[in-house]
């Protein structure tokens, strides 16, 4: 699709890991997708840490900087906003962005609870603004290939799905107590942080989840404190002042898929850990059907293991390299085997967002997907507390849906 050439004014709220990555992604869009005619202009960035505001202006190329995010939302040249703040600010900023009439690309988890996420959805719907969510793993060309094989029925009837997100970012007992471990600042722990990615990917490639039965555990109950706006959640602090871990390190769930989509009637498991030793960003999805299966692991992001047809089963899996035939791969590399990286997924995400706000097709994930993910996280929390199966359509209105 080609659109009329235009400049889109960008505001950024929070200049941490994701804020920096969003900024680079915007800058890449006109280079990777020149035919769209969309030129993002980095107008103003906000962070409460002055050193990060300076970084945004001096290194990332924002024309202006501020320590007050409201100046970003009030800026007349800002058309779209990236909300990359810690989770506790998502509802406040997301709702304010919608009221200011700004389209926004917001990081997951969108809100600390189902009700916060639903409130952002209501505000965005009322204001008629476009939303986009940081579900970057959707854009991996190998994942897109898996999704196409499944949608085309190449795996037969989908029987079961196995997803796990095993990151070792907090596997050191002295790993920093960043905002992610504080219930007030983050909401739930690994459920919101990593499990929500895995459940989104299951829904993206297979279809909606209808029911869940979960358990959670916390492996390290205290950690050394980390000042907001310094370091990252990968930091290790020796002899620090300790504080309590208030949310879960590990979560596992049995899931049943609903009647819509290719996964109709399928069952599966989703697991996530932030304290695992061994996998570093081991993020896997395996989908099994009556005629075949596919396996993907983010640590080998550009490969898809494929077995199609029972007759081929004795030969095992074929490894398909991501190639120009899959997703947006060809925009980055002309031939197969030239690996794409994590940052490229963010560039694809930025393109989908900017295309949608420019009147193009809405290929981006949106706040409705975020509400669905929040329902799954909340249902997992309810189920882990009760030991019972939890239906997702019963989540709205539960006590847990309202707590942060
Ligand atoms: N999509 C993904 O794969 C992915 C990966 C990492 C993080 N995330 C999400 O991105 C969000 C940010 O995570 P991060 O790792 O970039 O965090 P980070 O800790 O690296 O950065 C957060 C930044 O927010 C700033 N901040 C705090 N209070 C603020 C305020 N009132 N106004 C403006 N800025 C403020 C901090 O100073 C810091 O610079 C989280 O919601 C997280 O879950 C998504």
Point out the ligand 1 atom lying closest to the alpha carbon of residue 68.
Answer: 32
- Same domain (yes/no): 60, 188: no
pLDDT digits (tens, 9 = 90+) for 286-308: 999 999 999 999 999 999 999 99
pLDDT for 282 equals 95
Q: Whose CA is nearest to atom 7 of ligand 1?
A: 18
Is position 372 within any domain?
no
pLDDT for 168 equals 94
Task: Quote the ligand 1 centre to 5 CA distance (angstroms).
Answer: 32
Is position 196 within any domain?
yes
- Same domain (yes/no): 233, 157: yes
Is position 365 within any domain?
no
pLDDT for 280 equals 87
**Ligand 1 lined by 84 (C-beta under 6 Å):** yes
pLDDT digits (tens, 9 = 90+) for 351-377: 999 999 999 999 999 999 999 999 999
- Give the domain CATH number at 254: 3.30.360.10
Point out the ligand 1 atom lying closest to the alpha carbon of residue 17.
Answer: 16
pLDDT for 404 equals 59
- Same domain (yes/no): 158, 261: yes
pLDDT for 4 equals 66
- Same domain (yes/no): 70, 209: no
Task: Please name which of 280, 393, 367 lies closest in space to residue 97, comparing C-alpha atoms.
Answer: 367
Residues of the chain with pLDDT under 50: none
**Ligand 1 lined by 232 (C-beta under 6 Å):** yes
- Same domain (yes/no): 69, 149: no
- Same domain (yes/no): 277, 295: yes
Three-class secondary structure of residue 86 per DSSP = coil
Is position 287 within any domain?
yes
Number of domains comprising the chain = 2
Q: Which domain, by its residues, includes 90?
A: 6-136
Is position 386 within any domain?
no
Residue finishing a domain among 340, 364, 396: 340
**Ligand 1 lined by 66 (C-beta under 6 Å):** no
- Same domain (yes/no): 269, 150: yes
Q: For residues 134 and 105, is the Cβ–Cβ distance under 8 A?
A: yes
Task: Quote the ligand 1 centre to 180 CA distance (angstroms).
Answer: 10
Q: For residues 215 and 190, is the Cβ–Cβ distance under 8 A?
A: no
Mutate to test the pocket of ligand 1, among 11, 14, 19 (most ligand atoms within 8 A of CB): 14
Q: Whose CA is nearest to atom 2 of ligand 1?
A: 134
């Amino acid at each position: 699709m080609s659109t009329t050439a235009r400049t889109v004014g960008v505001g950024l709220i929070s200049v941490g890991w994701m804020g920096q990555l969003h900024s680079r992604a915007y800058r890449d869009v006109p280079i990777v997708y020149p035919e769209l005619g969309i030129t993002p202009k980095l107008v103003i960035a906000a962070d409460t840490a002055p050193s990060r505001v300076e970084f945004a202006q001096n290194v990332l190329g924002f024309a202006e900087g501020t320590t007050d995010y409201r100046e970003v939302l009030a800026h007349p040249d800002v058309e779209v906003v990236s909300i990359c703040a810690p989770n506790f600010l998502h509802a406040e900023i997301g709702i304010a962005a919608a009221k200011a009439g700004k389209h926004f690309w917001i990081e997951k988890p969108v809100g600390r609870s189902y009700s916060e996420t639903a409130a952002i959805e209501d505000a965005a719907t009322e204001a008629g603004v476009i939303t986009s969510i940081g579900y970057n793993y959707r854009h991996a060309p190998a994942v897109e290939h898996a999704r196409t094989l499944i949608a085309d029925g190449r795996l037969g009837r989908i029987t079961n799905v196995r997803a796990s997100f095993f990151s070792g970012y907090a596997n050191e007992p002295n790993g920093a107590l960043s905002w992610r471990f504080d219930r007030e600042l983050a909401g739930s722990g690994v459920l919101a942080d990593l499990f929500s990615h895995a459940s989104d990917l299951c829904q993206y490639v297979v279809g909606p989840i209808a029911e869940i039965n979960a358990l959670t555990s916390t492996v390290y109950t205290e950690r050394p404190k980390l000042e907001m706006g310094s370091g990252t959640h990968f930091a290790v602090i020796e002899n620090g002042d300790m504080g309590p871990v208030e949310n879960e390190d590990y979560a596992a769930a049995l899931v049943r898929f609903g009647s819509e989509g290719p996964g109709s009637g399928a069952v599966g498991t989703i697991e996530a850990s932030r304290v695992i030793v061994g996998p570093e960003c081991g993020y896997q999805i395996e989908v099994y059907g009556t005629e075949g299966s596919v396996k993907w692991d983010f640590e080998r992001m550009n490969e898809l293991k494929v077995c199609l047809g029972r007759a081929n089963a004795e030969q095992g899996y074929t490894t398909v390299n991501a190639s120009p035939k899959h997703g947006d791969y060809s925009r980055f590399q002309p031939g197969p085997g030239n690996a794409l990286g994590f940052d490229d997924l963010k560039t694809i995400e930025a393109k989908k967002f900017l295309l949608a706000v420019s009147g193009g097709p809405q290929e981006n994930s949106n706040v409705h997907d975020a509400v669905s993910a929040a329902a799954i996280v909340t249902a997992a929390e309810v189920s882990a507390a009760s030991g019972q199966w939890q239906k997702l359509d019963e989540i709205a209105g539960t006590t847990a849906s309202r707590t942060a």
